[in-house]
Chain A
Amino acid sequence: MELSALLLQVLNGLDKGSAYALIALGLTLIFGTLGVVNFAHGALFMIGAFCSVTLQRLLSTSVITLDETKLDFLGNPAKISTPYVNTWFGPDIGNAIIDWSVPLAILFAIPIMLLIGFVMERGLIKHFYKRPHADQILVTFGLAIVLQEAVKYFFGANQIPAPAPDMFVGSFDFGVYIGMNPGKLMYPYWRIVYFLFALVIILAVFSFLQFTTFGMVVRAGMADRETVGLLGINIDKRFTIMFGIAAAVAGLAGVMYTPINPPSYTMGMDFLVISFVVVVVGGMGSLPGAVLAGFLLGILESFASIRQVIDVLPGINNLVIYLAAIMILLARPRGLLGRKGVMEN
């Protein structure tokens, strides 16, 4: 096998791992702060993706005029749609705004996801803090199905394309920078953007927790909630905000994922199970563990998808993450970076 093929799978793995790491990071934030196993987290990823679709549609809202010179499929005068943004800013700027709807959706999604997170936590999940994990799983899984069906009701079951801006369409020739022949190692621009975006978000979350007073209190609360409460700090309020932040992280992962695969209402469920495995492998409650396991398992899955591997072990690409999880948990029962005491009382 050529070096370029191996490097390609590393890049693929980093890309898959980006999505796993972002979702697992949010899951761990919620589990570490509130002790809740949130099965609706995949649905938050999906809602983030549909924020992209919604913004694209809002920006494409058009004024309809009839063009007598053209006919529609029924033979009536054709309806010509001119987006309002084109009318307001001229076609060049208007089209550029629509073209950039996915990156712009980051700004659109943050307040929406924070709000959804707050409402979810205050409206439903807080009532289940003292209930067994099984109850939490049932209620959040039920919520995931409700959210999924709600999205299907409004957007339909078919996938909806939400492409990347034109300047990010196509592939980047990695190979020529490391001495390979041109065309040997091409990788899509947007997937590189996705990986870099994931790194920025992960760094931002860690910095927030590490370098702000708010973050310090949250970390203290994660370590010993009772003592922090006794110091007169309203830790519940801060944990609610953390739930909102976790929802926003999942949502942003979804927003930027839309050009990779056109979103559908089922996309959250596709990521949910693997993200849980990532959290467990990383170590329950460990944020660096979630990120590390996300990238590791992403790369592992990618290597297992190489045709030469599948030819020898058919179906291994679907199993490898779970096999690795079993082996890691046998060797390190608390996961890669799990600490003593978490989920053990």
Chain B
Amino acid sequence: MSSEKKRSQLPLTRRSVLKAGAAGIAAGTAPMIISTKAHAYLNEPKGSSVTLGFNVPQSGPYADEGADELRAYELAVEHLNGGGDGGMMGTFSSDALQGNGILGKKVEYVTGDTQTKPDAARASARSMIEKDGAIMITGGSSSGVAVAVQGLCQEAGVIFMAGLTHSNDTTGKDKKANGFRHFFNSYMSGAALAPILAANYGEDRVAYHLTADYNWGYTTEEAVRTSTEALGWKTAAAVKTPLAQTDFSSYIAPVQASGADVLILNHYGANMVNSLTSAVQFGLRNAQSNGKNFEIVVPLYSRLMAKGAGENVKGIFGSTNWHWSLEDEGSKAFVKSFGTKYGFPPSQAAHTCYVQTLLYADACERAGTHDPCGVGEALEGFEFDGLGNGPTLYRAEDHQCFKDVLVVKGKENPENEFDLLEIVEVTPVSQVTYDASIFGGELGTCNAG
């Protein structure tokens, strides 16, 4: 495996400078080249291998999530090249993948560090495209990063297979023809969660939102608010909290006096761990308000966050894209493969990254080319199954996957250190599907570089 890995920060050599310069000239004169050489596209693999670029947070607050994404990518590369037990390739409804790389070319990869900063993520993606010849970029743990890198891939002319990004904007107002997202989004979380919340907590509830002050926070608040208000809930207040906030006591303290009886934490990562810890410390879990038990909701859950928050997650509802305890054949195959190799079950971030790699490779095989436009066409409207979420559609209009959504709850009596969330309901895809036009944006046309 290690021989397959190349470093993304290669020293500048005469060859790489010439290559980058040639790429620049090619980009500048792209229309002319395309008209004279119909099949040319950026980083067309000429040798016996094809290079993928895994752009994940290797430093910064989401480094652990990034490490899990990288494990999944390494596993996917191993399986694509015919190694290991094949994982979900054996359960995938498409049989285009043969275990001989992609279109007969061995899969190699380079990695970049997004640092969970849009600028750093763009720089590492650019380096992998220009210096290492990556033909596809994938990964990431933040919507800000996903939108930035997706834009770069569109300009450069390579495919972007998004990692963990949950904002509506990634496949809404910021969607791009070269970008594809398998992960679910804020709208789907809201649509899946609201009925469960109403069923468990009643329709006469008053919610108080604490919302991380950035793009993902806004779309999540809006989605949960719209869905819950449609079922009769009222919203007492929605307060934005700075992304860098670590002590949430000043925000939590006034919640109970506001007349609310549900606190919704539109927070992710460290924000969620800290705000939930404060909320539990301030006794909100055991409090009474308006004659009802006070409740807390976390719209987007991840196992790593649940681990960080410890006991505090018990009994708290949220949603997730996938969970290792699912019993379908695809999930079982992936958990077995990942668990055998690494000794613990994969996270939802690992799952989406593994699936995205397989979907990309499969699209290349079905299109018979690595050309981003051909691959994009093969992904658009593609219906598949066996990858852990049941029957799934890659919608052509916005490049968003539509599949069932999991509503989960922090487990009261975990049996082991990974057993932190339990699945409460698998919300059918029909309930979370929306019109592609509601979030605006234009896909534009595909760019092959």
Contacts and interface: CB of A to CB of B under 8 A. Distances in A.
Interface of A: 2, 4-5, 8-9, 12, 15-16, 70, 72-75, 78-79, 152, 156-161, 163, 169-171, 183-184, 186-188, 190-191, 259-262, 264, 266-267, 270, 301-302, 305-307, 310, 315, 317-318
A159 B325 CA distance: 23
Contact of A5 (B64, B257, B336): B257
Contact of B282 (A161, A186, A315): A186
B270 A183 contact: no
Contact of A264 (B61, B239, B286, B325): B61
A159 B308 contact: yes
Contacts of B345: 73
15 contacts: A8-B253, A15-B249, A74-B335, A78-B416, A157-B60, A158-B308, A159-B273, A161-B308, A184-B257, A188-B282, A261-B274, A262-B273, A262-B277, A270-B244, A307-B254
B249 A191 contact: yes
A183 B63 contact: no
Contact of A305 (B251, B270, B309, B310): B251
Nearest to A263: B308
A74 B250 contact: no
A260 B281 contact: yes
Contact of A157 (B64, B254, B288): B64
B415 A171 contact: no
A188 B281 contact: yes
A24 B422 CA distance: 44
B281 A74 contact: no
Contacts of B304: 158
A206 B60 CA distance: 38
A318 B243 CA distance: 11
A317 B253 CA distance: 15
A145 to B, nearest CB: 11
Interface string B50-73: 000000000111111100000000
B31 interface: no
Contacts of B425: none
Secondary structure class of chain B's binding surface, majority of residues: helix
Interface of B: 59-65, 237, 239, 242, 244, 246-247, 249-251, 253-254, 256-257, 270, 273-274, 277-278, 281-283, 286-288, 304, 307-312, 324-325, 335-336, 339-340, 345, 415-416, 418
Nearest to A271: B246
Contacts of B324: 73
Nearest to B308: A159
A331 B409 CA distance: 54
Contacts of B254: 5, 8, 306-307
Contacts of A305: 250-251
B282 A267 contact: no
A192 B336 CA distance: 47
Contacts of A73: 324-325, 335, 339, 345, 416, 418
Cβ-closest 6 pairs across A and B? A161-B310, A305-B250, A171-B283, A157-B63, A159-B308, A188-B281
Nearest to A305: B250
A171 B63 contact: no
Given A4-B257, A262-B274, A160 B308 contact: yes
Nearest to A266: B61
A70 to B, nearest CB: 7
B308 A170 contact: no
Given A158-B304, A163-B310, A171 B282 contact: yes
B199 to A, nearest CB: 27
Nearest to B60: A157
A261 B286 CA distance: 19
Contacts of B287: 183, 186
A261 B415 contact: no
A62 B311 CA distance: 20
Contacts of B335: 73-74
Nearest to A302: B250
Contacts of A159: 270, 273-274, 308-309
A60 to B, nearest CB: 11
A1 to B, nearest CB: 9
B277 A12 contact: no
Contacts of B336: 74-75
Given A74-B335, A157-B63, A9 B308 contact: no
Given A161-B311, A183-B287, A78 B251 contact: no
A158 B141 CA distance: 13
Interface centre among B253, B257, B311, B325 (most CB of A within 10 A): B253
A238 B17 CA distance: 58
B282 A157 contact: no
A156 B311 contact: no
Contacts of A171: 281-283
Contacts of B312: 161
A261 B308 contact: no
B308 A262 contact: yes
A311 to B, nearest CB: 9
Nearest to B63: A157
A318 B242 contact: yes
A315 B240 CA distance: 10
Contacts of A2: 257
Contacts of A302: 249-250
Nearest to B239: A307
A26 B21 CA distance: 54
A156 B63 contact: yes
Contacts of A79: 416
A260 B308 contact: no
Contacts of A74: 335-336, 339-340
B247 A260 contact: yes
Interface centre among A4, A169, A261 (most CB of B within 10 A): A261
Nearest to A13: B250
B164 to A, nearest CB: 14
A193 B248 CA distance: 18
A98 to B, nearest CB: 13
A161 B257 contact: no
A264 B59 CA distance: 13
Interface centre among A156, A170, A262 (most CB of B within 10 A): A262
B80 to A, nearest CB: 23
Given A78-B416, A264-B270, A307-B254, A186 B61 contact: no
Contacts of A169: 281
